[in-house]
């Protein structure tokens, strides 16, 4: 008998003329993933900080296994500012974040974004 793997939840992030998919890290951050999943979809105007795209979302979550370190492709929630953060380079968060999802490919496309661009996030 084959054991069924639980279905991995994914989100789609659309910005400018591209779309990327991120896989939720529910095992590491179940509360963060659940709160964001419930709040989807949302749309915002993005800001750029170093090599990070971020915007405020209508979610309030306390730190959950927070980390001060990220890598390109990490999608994180910043508890201090209700921020949805996409890290596309080597820059690090200003303070600890809940890294709740991972973009496997296409994260480099965020290098072409600029403050004021519209971004949409929805369930995949």
What string of DSSP letters covers 79-91? TTTTEEEEE-SS-
Say how far apart CA 54 and CA 56 lie, in whole Å: 7
Domains of the chain in sequence order: 10-123 (2.40.100.20)
Tell me what pLDDT residue 85 has.
98
Alpha-helical (H) ranges within 16-81 are: 30-39
Mode of pairing for the β-strands spanning 52-56 and 118-123: unpaired
Per-residue confidence band for 7, with pLDDT thresholds at 50, 70 and 90: confident
Percent of the chain with pLDDT over 90: 94
Residue 3 has pLDDT above 60, yes or no: no
* DSSP letters for the chain: -PPPPPPPPEEEEEETTEEEEEEE-TTT-HHHHHHHHHH--EEEE-EEETTEEEEE-S-----SS-BS---TTEEEEETTTTEEEEE-SS---SS-BEEEEEE-S-GGGGGG--TT-EEEEEE-
Tell me what pLDDT residue 12 has.
98
- Tokens linked to 121: 């996030």
Percent of the chain with pLDDT over 70: 95
Better-scored residue on pLDDT, 3 or 39:
39
């Amino acid at each position: 008998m084959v054991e069924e793997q639980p279905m991995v939840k994914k989100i789609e992030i659309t910005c400018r003329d591209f779309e990327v998919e991120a896989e939720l890290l529910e095992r590491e951050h179940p509360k963060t993933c659940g709160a964001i999943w419930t709040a989807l979809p949302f749309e915002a105007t993005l800001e750029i900080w170093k090599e990070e795209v971020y915007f405020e979302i209508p979610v309030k979550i306390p730190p959950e296994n927070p980390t001060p370190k990220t890598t390109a492709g990490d999608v994180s929630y910043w508890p201090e500012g209700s921020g949805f953060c996409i890290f596309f380079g080597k820059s690090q968060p200003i303070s600890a974040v809940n890294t709740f999802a991972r973009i496997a490919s296409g994260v480099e496309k965020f290098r072409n974004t600029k403050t004021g661009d519209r971004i949409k996030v929805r369930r995949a």
